[in-house]
Structure 1
Amino acid sequence: MWFKHLHLYRLHEAAAIPAADLEAALAEQAARTPGSQEARRVGWCPPAGRAGTALLHELQGQRLLTMLRHERLLPAGVVREEVEERSAEIEAREGRKLRRQEKQELKEQVYEELLPRAFIRSQKVDLWWDTRRNLIAVNSSSRKRAEEALDLLRETLGSLKVTPLATQTLPMRAMTQWLADEGSRPASLQLGDQVELKAKGDDGVLRARQVDLDSDEIQQLLAAGRQASRMGVEIEGRLGYVLHDDLTLKSLRFSDALIDEAGQTEDDGDAIVRLEADFILMAQALAEEVERLIDWLGGEANQATTQAT
């Protein structure tokens, strides 16, 4: 249940949606296996997996939803090889070279024939919706997958006005300052042990893990003009993560104390009780951390809302 990554979005002009109405809407877009000619399909599935049937879990204004993504795996190389073999047979039989348009039509035919026989890969993407703070976060390492989950939610609700969370101070500027000047760091912030430094010119990107971020080597790189595009952050007693320059939080690590606190909930082997106990503690910890991070970065930036209907 514990999220690994967070892509953060601000929800604008959000009208209250009762949980029962939302779950009914989710059911209309429930996940199903793609048809024989569908390369992929997305829909909602129970966050508890086989242990439950509910498409929505809501506790204290915190909502948990799960997108299930099905994708047929048909490698381009397989299609290309089949097209080349069939092209060779036709050319030998007819004694002529196939035109480019004919090869394209043959490729489309091969794709349609092979697609139903392709293996299907499934991937779940969890979405946390904080209705009190009008915040939506998607647990995915990929921004593309996060946007896909939002597109599905937009289609489910009919409209969804969201923008990526943004702050007055750019994360890259703040991270670079925190690295260069220990005195500028927020009181509760501790540096982690990994960093990515970008050069202003064409000198590429330098990535380092398991290093002392206060070392002379790091300071020399900063003095040479490099800027931090991602950096390990630790919040004592709560969690750690890697902060990226687009305000994404990745490689989340929750403290043993927090996980132990969740473990103290008596679940009597009930997977739903366990899921919800873990989720509410995680959501509360992440909500506090997001608020803290926004404060560290000078407050939230004013943005024009993105309207989608």
Structure 2
Amino acid sequence: MWFKHLHLYRLHGAPALDAAALEAALSEQAFRPLGGSEPRRLGWCAPAGRAGTQLLHELQGQRLITALRQERLLPASVVREEVEERSAELEAREGRKLRRQEKLGIKEQVYEELLPRAFVRTQKVDLWWDTRRGLIGVNSSSRKRAEEVLDLLRETLGSLKVTPLSSQTLPMRAMTGWLVEPGERPADMVLGDQVELKAKGDDGVLRARQVDLDSDEIQRLLESGRQASKLALEIEGRLSFVLHDDLALKSLRFGDALVDEATNSDDGDDALVRLETDFLLMSQALGENVDRLIGWLGGEAGTTSDQRVA
């Protein structure tokens, strides 16, 4: 259940739906298996999988919903080879070169014939909705996939205004400052051992893992004008992650104390109780630590220092 990645969004004027109404709305967009000629499909499924049927789990203002995405995998190279073979046979038979439009028609025919036989890839994407903070977090390494799930939620609800969460201080500027000036780091921040440094010119990107980020070598790279676009961080004892310059959190790892609490909780060997226990502990930890991270970055963009999360 524990999220591995997080793309964060701010909700603006979210629809006021109780759990029953939201469950009903989700059921209208429940996932159905791909038809024979469909390239892809997205719909809602039970977060608990075979252990449950409900599409929404809501606990103390924290909502968990899950999208299921299926896509047929038809490599372009396979289509291209088949088109070339059929085109060559037709040209030899008729003794002429095919026009571009004719080749496009063959390509469409090949695609329609091969698609039903293509392998199907299935992917589940979990969405965390913090109704108290007005935040949505999508557990996906890809922002494109996260946006697809938000589009599905928007279609489900009729309207949904969200924007990517942003901070007063740009993450790249803050991450670079933390590396250059150790004294500027928050007291409960611990540097990890991974960084990505971008150059302003055409010198490309430098990626380093398992390195001392306070080393002279890293400092010389920063002095040359490089800026940190990714940085491994830990909120001491609570959560570790790689912060990206678009405020995405990747490679999430939760603190041992939290994981131990979840492991030692009494679920009576009930998979649904286990799911909801893990989700509640995780969502509370994410909410608290996202607040802390945004504080490190000077607060949320568009807010003033005296505004607080409701």
* Fold in common (TM above 0.5): yes
**For residues 105-124 of structure 1, what are the structure 2 equivalents within 5 Å?**
105-124=105-124
- State yes or no: 1:165 paired with 2:165: yes
C-alpha contact (below 8 Å) 2:11/2:162 kept by paired residues: yes
**For residues 11-26 of structure 1, what are the structure 2 equivalents within 5 Å?**
11-26=11-26
Name the SS of the counterpart of 2:292 in structure 1: helix
What percentage of aligned pairs have identical amino acids? 78
Match of 1:71 in 2: 71
For residue 15 of structure 1, report the CA deviation from its aligned partner. 3.0
Q: Which runs of 4+ in 1 moved over 6 A?
A: none
Q: Which amino acid aligns with 2:288?
A: E
- Structure 1: how far apart are the matches of 2:127 and 2:52? 17
For residue 249 of structure 1, report the CA deviation from its aligned partner. 0.4
Show CA shifts across 1:3-58 (max 9, x none). 00000000001232111111111111011111122100000000011111110100
Q: Which amino acid aligns with 2:293?
A: L
- Structure 1: how far apart are the matches of 2:139 and 2:227? 27
Match of 2:56 in 1: 56
**For residues 246-265 of structure 1, what are the structure 2 equivalents within 5 Å?**
246-265=246-265
C-alpha contact (below 8 Å) 2:15/2:157 kept by paired residues: no
Q: Which amino acid aligns with 1:166?
A: S
For residue 79 of structure 1, report the CA deviation from its aligned partner. 1.0
Question: What TM-score, normalized by structure 2, do the two folds share?
Answer: 0.96
**For residues 1-309 of structure 1, what are the structure 2 equivalents within 5 Å?**
1-302=1-302
Q: Which amino acid aligns with 2:145?
A: R
Q: Which amino acid aligns with 2:139?
A: N
List runs of 5+ in structure 2 lacking aligned partners.
304-310
Show CA shifts across 1:193-246 (max 9, x none). 100111111111111001111111111111111111010101122110000000
Segment drifting more, 186-195 vs 87-96: 87-96
Q: Which amino acid aligns with 2:279?
A: F
List runs of 5+ in structure 1 lacking aligned partners.
304-309
- Structure 1: how far apart are the matches of 2:115 and 2:243? 40
Q: CA RMSD in A?
A: 0.9
Name the SS of the counterpart of 1:20 in structure 2: helix
Name the SS of the counterpart of 2:42 in structure 1: strand
Segment drifting more, 113-122 vs 100-109: 113-122
Q: Which amino acid aligns with 1:109?
A: Q
- Structure 2: how far apart are the matches of 1:237 and 1:201? 38
For residue 66 of structure 1, report the CA deviation from its aligned partner. 0.5
Show CA shifts across 1:262-288 (max 9, x none). 112111111000001100000000001
Name the SS of the counterpart of 1:2 in structure 2: coil
Q: Which amino acid aligns with 2:9?
A: Y
Match of 2:308 in 1: none
- Structure 2: how far apart are the matches of 1:137 and 1:209? 27
For residue 186 of structure 1, report the CA deviation from its aligned partner. 0.7
Q: Which amino acid aligns with 1:200?
A: K
- Structure 2: how far apart are the matches of 1:15 and 1:37? 35
- Structure 2: how far apart are the matches of 1:19 and 1:179? 44
**How many aligned residue pairs are there?**
303
